[in-house]
Amino acid sequence: MNSAGGLRGFLELLAETSDPEKVVRYIENSMELCDFLIEEIQSYRQIILAENGELKVFSNDVNTLDLLKSAALSLEHHAVSKEKCMEISNDSESILLQTDKILLSRVLVNLLKNALEATNSNGVVLIGSKLVSNKGAACENNGRSHDSSISSVSSISSVSSISSVSSISSVSSDSSALPEFYSSDFIRFWVKNDLEIPEESKPHIFKKRISTKGEMRGLGTYSVRLLGEKYLGGKVGFTSNSCDGTTFFIDLPLKYSPQK
């Protein structure tokens, strides 16, 4: 892994220098890489448990706005956020839902981290949540999705302010039915950056792979779908185009129901 190699490199430099300023800098860099390494190991361990069906879900009351703030705060001093800005959308709502706080936090942090990695210096990543009021509405399958996700309407304004599932153009790539919670109110969390995903990469977004960026970052979106759909009972998707950039989202029921 690049983090382990980088850590060894900084420790070698540390052993060779007596310059106080360089010593401090190398120690700080080494500590940062240690955090990266610990984070990667924990994330990969969680994925293995999830793939083996051994991950436990603990449902509790969670506030949507608190989750957004916590996700942004956890990456505030992370290397991926250097010279970049994270903002919580002004129209994000403070809603109470029942779900696994730890697993959902992991999903949101992964989405936010991926967006930051894909954002240029001085760029902005927007994160938000929305209660979608949809009582009595029928789910419509009248479009196409990216991989096994739901692909919503083309503009980001629609993605962030969607008011009912009837305005989602969606169909699962495996032709499976949409989750039952789309027939009532649900919560949408979303993360947006300004860059478009290359067309040739879109079909592979949720596949398990090792990223060309190094590390195990290619597992980020894979784990988002695995945790978000298999364990939290939600639906994960994204939209991406040259005009509006890229938005990843996860839709969740207001009350968690154990998955069959």
Domain extent for 22: 2-50
Integer Cα distance of 26 and 28 in angstroms: 5
Note the pLDDT of residue 79.
Answer: 77
Q: What is the pLDDT of residue 212?
A: 42
Largest CA distance in the chain: 71
Both 40 and 89 in a single domain?
no
One domain for residues 228 and 106: yes
Tell me: do 162 and 40 sit in the same domain.
Answer: no
And the tokens for 157? 């304004």
Does 86 lie in the same domain as 67?
A: yes
In this structure, the answer to whether residues 122 and 244 fall within a common structural domain is: yes
Nearest to 110 by CA among 137, 159, 74: 74
The three-state secondary structure class of 130 is: strand
pLDDT at 41: 77
**Are both 88 and 214 inside the same structural domain?**
yes
Sheet bearing 124-132, strands edge to edge: 85-88, 124-132, 186-193, 245-253, 235-241
Asked if the structure places residue 219 within a domain, the reply is yes
- Domain assignment present for residue 258? The answer is no
Low-confidence ranges of the chain (pLDDT < 50): 1, 136-175, 210, 212-217
CA distance 34 to 11: 11
d(CA 196, CA 240): 5
At residue 158, the pLDDT reads 41
Find, among 104, 123, 20, the residue nearest to 57 by Cα.
104
Q: Give the model's pLDDT for residue 67.
A: 93
82 and 32 share a domain? no
Closest residue by Cα to residue 119 from 166, 78, 165:
78
